[in-house]
Amino acid sequence: MTDGAQQALRRTMEIYSKTTRFALACNASDKIIEPIQSRCAVLRYTKLTDAQILTRLMNVIEKERVPYTDDGLEAIIFTAQGDMRQALNNLQSTFSGFGFINSENVFKVCDEPHPLLVKEMIQHCVNANIDEAYKILAHLWHLGYSPEDIIGNIFRVCKTFQMAEYLKLEFIKELPNSFPKWLQHVHSHQHSGGSST
C-alpha cells in the first residue's frame, strides 16, 4: 500500500473512529506509516508448524476434491514457510494451473529453486566435490533465480539435511561468507561462455 493510500486510510480511520473498529493485516508492520501504527494494537503471530499447515491443507483438499501426491503437499509446506495464506494460495494456484498437486507443479508455480537440486548441491559440498556443487549453482543461476532465492533455499534445506550436526552448523556459519564468492565464480563462467548448464 503506497504512502498516499495509507494517508487516505488514516483520514478514513479518523472520521469513523467513534463508530468503527479497523483491523489491518500485513506482513511487514514497519511499512505502515506511523499515524496508522499509533492507532493500532499490534498483534504478532508466530509461524505455523508444518503439522498445522498440513492439517488445514488436508481439510481444504478433501472438501474441494483436489488430486495430490504426498511430495506435492511437502512442496506446498516447504514453499509456505509457516504462512497459511501462502500455503492456500500455492495450493489454489497449482490446482488452477495444472489440476494436480505434485512437487514439480508446485515448484513451477512458486518459482523457487527446487529443494532436490539444492540437496544435491549440499551433498556435493559435504563430499568435497566443489566443482559439481558449482555446476548446480550455475544451473540455478542460469534458470534466473536471484541470489536471495538460492541462498534462502540453501538455508532452509540445510536445516533438515541429514549430516553431522557440527558440519551443518559450520556450513550455515560459512554460507554467508562463501556465497558471494560462488556467485562471482558462476558469473565469470557465464561471461566467458563456460557455463556448465
pLDDT tens column, 162-182: 998 988 888 888 877 776 776
CATH classification code of 115-191: 1.20.272
Tell me, what's the pLDDT at 186? 59
Tell me, what's the pLDDT at 175? 78
CB distance 79 to 112 below 8 Å: yes
- CATH entry 3.20.20.10 includes domain 50-110: no
Give every residue of the chain whose pLDDT is below 70, as ranges: 179, 182-197
Measured N-to-C along each axis, helices 70-80 and 103-110 cross at an angle, to the nearest 10 degrees, of 30
CB distance 101 to 73 below 8 Å: yes
Would you list the domain boundaries of the chain? 3-37, 50-110, 115-191
Tell me, what's the pLDDT at 185? 65
Handedness of CA 91, 92, 93, 96 (dihedral sign): positive
Q: Which residues of 141-158 are buried (b: 16+ CB within 10 A; e: fewer)?
A: beeebeeeebbbbbebbb
